[in-house]
Amino acid sequence: MCGIVGYVGKHAASSILVEGLKHLEYRGYDSSGIALAEGNGIEVIKKTGRVAVLAGLAQKHASKASMGISHTRWATHGGVTDENAHPHLSWDSKIALVHNGVIENYKALRTFLEGEGATFRSQTDSEVLANLIAYYYNLDETAQNGNRLVCAVRQSLIHVEGTYGIAVICADLPNEIVGARKGSPLCIGVGHGENLIASDVAAFVGRTQNVVYLDDGQIVHLSREDFSITTIAEETVSPVINQIDWKIEEAELGSYKHFMEKEIFEQPQALENAMRGRFSDDESTAKFGGLNLDAREWRQVDRIVFCGCGTAWHACLVAEYLIERFSRIPVEVEYASEFRYRNAPLDKNALFFVVSQSGETIDTLEALREAQRKGFRVLGITNGVGSTIARESDGGVYQHSGPEIGVASTKAFTSQLLISGMLGLYLGRMRDLSFGDGREMVKAFKSLPGLISQILDQADQIKAIAERYAEFQDFLFLGRQSMFPIALEGALKLKEISYIHAEGYPAAEMKHGPIALISEQCPSVVLSPHGDTLKKVMSNIEETRARKGRVIAITSAGKDFPDSAADDIIRIPTAHSCIMPILSTIPLQLLAYYIACKRGCDVDKPRNLAKSVTVE
């Protein structure tokens, strides 16, 4: 949440900062702003609304400053106003700060600073930190140059409770930026004669492919030619420079109307990337290079616990079905946001998986740390190469989906489902899954890109169905077994981007209460692929239609599901059960997307949401 970009170099900073914010706008879009070191002080330009509004204001300003910081906001403390937008200036206008995170003890700090004569312009916790840094900066006039600012930041952060990713500049130091992180991501873009700081590599990937990821408790001091990293405890850190493995073109919209549309249609390639090099030579099992467990250690695992939030939690639920079915290992699924506040009894031989597209989801990261604190091994499934979860976990699997910009996850979700299925195969072959069954599963996984392309070819038909249902205000999504989590995900997608109230249920649970909601004004989307429960699901459909409820069915059942069985039918290919959750997801994504478009919603930037949730 919230996007931070800072630049110090040889070029005009304003346009570089605004361009960086455009690539981070999915992280927050309530307001945005820039602070530029003009030589005789700090100039701040900020405004509510999208980055395009700021871009217009910055262009009129036409600054030649070669250093500055910027921010696009997802509001936490304080409403969406110009005053609450970042950057924040200290009361004496010497310090400008941008901040991602939450300062939990900001009220006590504010009371102290007001007693010292500081004044405040906003209702944010972030302005408190700007004034605290100014307080310590003015208190220590003996330190020289940038060290004085670093010392002020360090002294301030010692007193801060909460999370932060910050970038700070000072009017006295027109060529230096100080950044620090705890709980909110921050990274350094290492250039030639210029350096950048940002909350996500997407902000600077067009300028450099070299990146340094900061860890919690680290402070970075940037100048045009160099940077140095120390800890809060004043220890020197030797930086590790990584290479970004994707190009800026992958984060561009291209010919698509929305990033969500682009990412839906990228799924055949995204899943191809997730599979590449991950099957054995005899094609009877999966293989993973980063799990850091040998076969003997896997055999000692008695239970697996999955943790995730939102869409990733739905992927965890599918993993439960797939791994239990194919490997016969008991699986539990926890909301990551609840896990560390519980005191659940856990088997001593349990293994944890945490799932997060960004690898920065704060609730999931804290669940990882809580599990490790209790002595458990934790593996990660993430799309964020170099992310905090990737660095702190004991091993894991990269999704290799490429950048996902749309707030509503699509290709990252199906990639998580694929990896879950491949884990079920991998563990099953270590136990009692036969060679032949393993080969059938590998064949099914490899068929996915082509089968998904077949479904995407039906986009116009699905769009026509979606537009017939776009005016309804309530939906139910129903499925059984592994289709139940897909029903939950379908309901979430519709809620996220179209603001239609939607709920997902196990189909058989309808008669235990939710059937009271059925009416002509409440359509149901029913997942009814071929399989053992098809007849039961068709019975649920009949119960719905008998109460005048309209039904959109997604099925692979062929002749067993006649055209008369539902009001509208989307037919998907018949396939192995290990990939049916993925195939069934694609029509739900398209339905949600086209309904939101018909309703005139901002698909890529839905209200109140942000892409990467880095605050609790």
Q: Is 2 an annotated catalytic residue?
A: yes
Q: Which residues pair with 222 in a beta bridge?
A: 177, 227
My answer on whether omega of the bond before 606 falls inside 30° of 0, hence cis, is no
3-state helix, strand, coil split of the chain in percent (to 5) is 40, 20, 40
Q: Which CATH superfamily is domain 253-455 in?
A: Glucose-6-phosphate isomerase like protein; domain 1 (3.40.50.10490)
* pLDDT number for residue 247: 73
What are the phi and psi torsion angles at 170 (to 5°)? -130, 140
* pLDDT number for residue 469: 97
**Could you name the CATH architecture of 458-603?**
3-Layer(aba) Sandwich (3.40)
> If pLDDT is split at 50, 70 and 90, which confidence band does 482 have?
very high
Measured distance CA(585)–CA(590) in Å, rounded: 9
Q: Which residues pair with 99 in a beta bridge?
A: 166
pLDDT digits (tens, 9 = 90+) for 533-551: 888 888 889 888 989 889 9
Q: Tell the residue number behind the tokens 């909460």, with chain if given.
A: 162
* pLDDT number for residue 145: 53
Measured distance CA(501)–CA(495) in Å, rounded: 6
Q: Which residues contact 552 (CB under 8 A, 6 or more apart)?
A: 465, 469, 523, 524, 525, 526, 566, 567, 568, 569, 570, 591
DSSP for 124-135 reads -SHHHHHHHHHH
* pLDDT number for residue 490: 98
Q: Which residues contact 241 (CB under 8 A, 6 or more apart)?
A: 190, 210, 211, 212
| Whether the predicted pLDDT of 27 surpasses 80 | no
Helix residue ranges, H only, 140-252 = 145-158
Helix residue ranges, H only, 411-551 = 411-430, 435-456, 459-468, 483-498, 534-545
Handedness of CA 303, 307, 310, 312 (dihedral sign): negative
Could you tell me if residue 354 is left (phi over 0), alpha (psi between -120 and 50 degrees) or otherwise beta?
beta
Delimiting residues of CATH 3.40.50.10490 domain(s) in the chain:
253-455, 458-603
* pLDDT number for residue 156: 96
CATH (residue range 75-250): 3.60.20.10
Q: Which residues contact 287 (CB under 8 A, 6 or more apart)?
A: 278, 279, 280, 426
Q: Is 611 an annotated catalytic residue?
A: yes
pLDDT digits (tens, 9 = 90+) for 254-303: 899 999 999 999 999 999 999 999 999 999 999 999 999 988 899 899 99
- Whole-number mean pLDDT of the chain? 92
The three-state secondary structure class of 59 is: helix
* pLDDT number for residue 290: 92
- The residue-averaged pLDDT of 464-470 equals 97
SS (H, E, C) 268-325: HHHHHHHHCCCECCCCCCECCCCCCCCHHHHHCCCEEEEEECCHHHHHHHHHHHHHHH
Contact (Cβ atoms closer than 8 angstroms) between residue 431 and residue 441: no
> If pLDDT is split at 50, 70 and 90, which confidence band does 399 have?
very high
Delimiting residues of CATH 3.60.20.10 domain(s) in the chain:
75-250
pLDDT digits (tens, 9 = 90+) for 187-216: 999 999 999 999 988 889 889 999 999 999
| Whether the predicted pLDDT of 39 surpasses 90 | no
Rounded to 10 degrees, the C-alpha dihedral 379/384/390/391 comes to 180
Q: Which of 503, 493, 472 is nearest to 586 (CA)?
A: 493
Tokens of 425: 């195969």
- DSSP state, 566? S
Measured distance CA(151)–CA(143) in Å, rounded: 8
In single-letter form, the type of residue at position 40 comes to N
pLDDT digits (tens, 9 = 90+) for 415-452: 999 999 999 999 999 999 999 999 999 999 999 999 99
Query: CA gyration radius for the chain?
Result: 26
Angle at alpha carbon of residue 72, lines to 68 and 74, rounded to 5°: 145
Task: Return the number of other C-beta atoms located less than 10 Å from residue 127's C-beta.
Answer: 29
Q: Rounded to an integer, what is the distance from CA 550 to the centroid of its chain?
A: 34
Choose, from 94, 493, 495, 611, the residue flagged as catalytic.
611
- DSSP state, 215? P
Tokens of 309: 């939030």
Q: Which of 417, 438, 435, 293 is nearest to 351 (CA)?
A: 293
pLDDT digits (tens, 9 = 90+) for 361-389: 999 999 999 999 999 999 999 998 889 99
| Whether the predicted pLDDT of 113 surpasses 90 | yes
73, containing H or E segment: strand 67-73
Measured distance CA(71)–CA(351) in Å, rounded: 39
Contact (Cβ atoms closer than 8 angstroms) between residue 292 and residue 395: yes
Q: Rounded to an integer, what is the distance from CA 577 to the centroid of its chain?
A: 28
| Whether the predicted pLDDT of 151 surpasses 70 | yes
* pLDDT number for residue 581: 97
> If pLDDT is split at 50, 70 and 90, which confidence band does 6 have?
very high
| Whether the predicted pLDDT of 182 surpasses 60 | yes
Choose, from 2, 316, 522, 601, the residue flagged as catalytic.
2
Angle at alpha carbon of residue 486, lines to 472 and 614, rounded to 5°: 90
| Whether the predicted pLDDT of 140 surpasses 60 | yes
Contact (Cβ atoms closer than 8 angstroms) between residue 126 and residue 86: yes
Contact (Cβ atoms closer than 8 angstroms) between residue 66 and residue 84: no
Rounded to 10 degrees, the C-alpha dihedral 263/265/270/271 comes to 130
Provide the percentage of residues in the chain whose pLDDT is more than 90.
Answer: 74
